Structure 1
Amino acid sequence: MSRRVTANLFTTLDGAVENPSSWQGDAFDEILGEVMTETLSSVDDVLLGRETYDFWASHWTREDVEDPFKSFINPVAKHVASRTLKQHDVTWENCSVIDGDLMDFVRGLKGTQGRDISIQGSLSIIAQLLEAGLLDRLTLFVHPVFAGPERRLSDSMNLNRGALPLTLLDHRVNTKGTTVLVFGPAERSFPANCGEESPNK
């Protein structure tokens, strides 16, 4: 049985996923803490994009940063997808640069022994794996707020070929009104002309 590839995103009612610290507010409670702990405790490998690597490598290694996530992200095996970063440029512990095609690397990693493979941040990687059918779980933490002109996951996707349906696997709501939605691949695909009026009507 192949390993699962998972991704978690904080988002808003209007789909914003960028700069969550500016719109999350006081959203965390015991329920969200349990979900995050369950999610991270099942991860053996993390996929990162170049931008996420650049920020996180400097942030999470700082001695003055105190956050439970730090004890997870520093020791876990990290794989960076970058066309410009070289292995000799990497100083973060347990971190390596992906050599070759990202999709081929993920397929190979899925076939190895281990627990979940998680994408942290890195919207372009999530979008690419969604479109390639390689993302097994997408968890959205939907906060009851509108954020305005912030980046959305769909901004990194090519949906010219039609809709990309998913299947709802689980859902929870915390005490602050944040809804946790867990999606997996759809059992069927929408036709390319989904939404067009049928000529037989």
Structure 2
Amino acid sequence: MTRLVTANLFSTLDGAVENPAAWQGDAFDDILAQVMTSTLSSVDDVLLGRSTYDMWASHWTRDDVEDPFKDFINSVPKHVASRTLARESVTWDNCSVIDVELLEFVRSLKETEGRDISIQGSLSVIAQLLEAGLLDRLTLIVHPVMAGSERRLSDSMDLSSGPLSLTLLDHQVNTKGTVVLTYGPAS
């Protein structure tokens, strides 16, 4: 059985997905916590781009971070897609640099035993997998806020040949007005 590749992005109403700490506010409640917990409970591997790796490694390895997701994030196998990160510079436990082309790596990883493969943040990784048809689920957690100038997922994609269609698989709304939309490939 082929493993699913999933991605989760926090988003604004105007499509910004970069720097969510600047605009999320108090959007988390029990519903969103359950969505995040459910998502992560089905994951055996995480893919990260270089920028997300840098942010996560510096944050999640700190002793003063108290977060229910910390143990999961530090223990799950993490694979970093980077052309500039030296393999020997990665010291975070359970973390390695992908040493082959990203699409080849993901195709191979999908064929191994295990549960879902998740991409967190990492816009360029998500964009490449969407364009290649390798992303099985894209979950957008849309906050009721406008960010203006922050980067959007489409900024990392080549849509010159036309739009990329997706199919809505699920949706939820939390008590703060945040909408969780899960999409899959168009039928």
- 2:167 is equivalent to residue 146 of structure 1: no
Question: What is the TM-score with the length of structure 2 in the denominator?
Answer: 0.98
Any stretches of 5+ residues in structure 2 without a counterpart? none
Moved over 6 A (4+): none
- 2:47 is equivalent to residue 44 of structure 1: no
Deviations 1:116-170 (A, max 9, x none): 0000111000000000000000000011111111110000000001010000000
| CA distance in 2: counterparts of 1:51 and 1:26, whole angstroms | 25
- 2:66 is equivalent to residue 105 of structure 1: no
2:163 corresponds in structure 1 to 163
Provide the secondary structure at the position in 2 that maps to 1:79: strand
> Taking every aligned residue pair, what percent have the same amino acid on both sides?
78
| CA distance in 2: counterparts of 1:143 and 1:58, whole angstroms | 26
Any stretches of 5+ residues in structure 1 without a counterpart? 188-201
Deviations 1:98-119 (A, max 9, x none): 1111000000000000000000
What is the deviation of 1:180?
0.5
Equivalent residue runs for 1:24-173 within 5 Å: 24-173=24-173
CA RMSD of aligned residues (A): 0.7
| CA distance in 1: counterparts of 2:24 and 2:52, whole angstroms | 19
| CA distance in 1: counterparts of 2:14 and 2:54, whole angstroms | 28
| CA distance in 2: counterparts of 1:11 and 1:83, whole angstroms | 27
Question: What is the TM-score with the length of structure 1 in the denominator?
Answer: 0.91
> For the pair shown, which has the larger CA radius of gyration, 1 or 2?
1
Count of equivalent residues = 187
| CA distance in 2: counterparts of 1:101 and 1:156, whole angstroms | 18
